[in-house]
Amino acid sequence: MAESTTGQKKSRRQLLEEFVAKKPDDAFSRYGLALECMNCGDSAAADEHFRALLVHNADYIPTYLMYGQLLARESRIEEARRVLSSGIEAATKAGNQHACSEMEALLNNLS
């Protein structure tokens, strides 16, 4: 892991935050940061980064599934449905049948 100027090791989240600060429109870095926030239990930050991805990188298909999962986990079912439906459209347009079927499965399991 990289070290900061104080000699302390930076967390994965800190490194990803630096990448995003340098290149805010880089979908891969922001997606990684959103996942890291989600995995660390910081749903608010994850939500913010997933939203930014949908605005600036709407063609980055993995966002829709993971954001849909986050929303479903937080019982934000209507939002999850909207995100997944948009994701299915984007995946279909991109010819990504695997992502499309994963999102359809999650959408069908929402209660």
Whether the Cβ atoms of residue 81 and residue 107 lie closer than 8 Å to each other: yes
Beta pairing partners, 9: 3
Confidence of residue 8 (pLDDT cuts 50, 70, 90): confident
Q: What is the pLDDT of residues 75-111, one digit of tens each?
A: 999 999 999 999 999 999 999 999 999 999 999 999 6
Domain 12-109: give its CATH architecture.
Alpha Horseshoe (1.25)
Rounded to whole angstroms, how far apart are CA atoms 92 and 67?
18
Say if residue 1's pLDDT is above 70.
no
pTM of the predicted protein model: 0.89
Distance of CA 103 to the CA centre of its chain: 14
SS (H, E, C) 42-110: CHHHHHHHHHHHHHHCCCCCHHHHHHHHHHHHCCCHHHHHHHHHHHHHHHHHHCCHHHHHHHHHHHHHC
Whether the Cβ atoms of residue 48 and residue 67 lie closer than 8 Å to each other: no
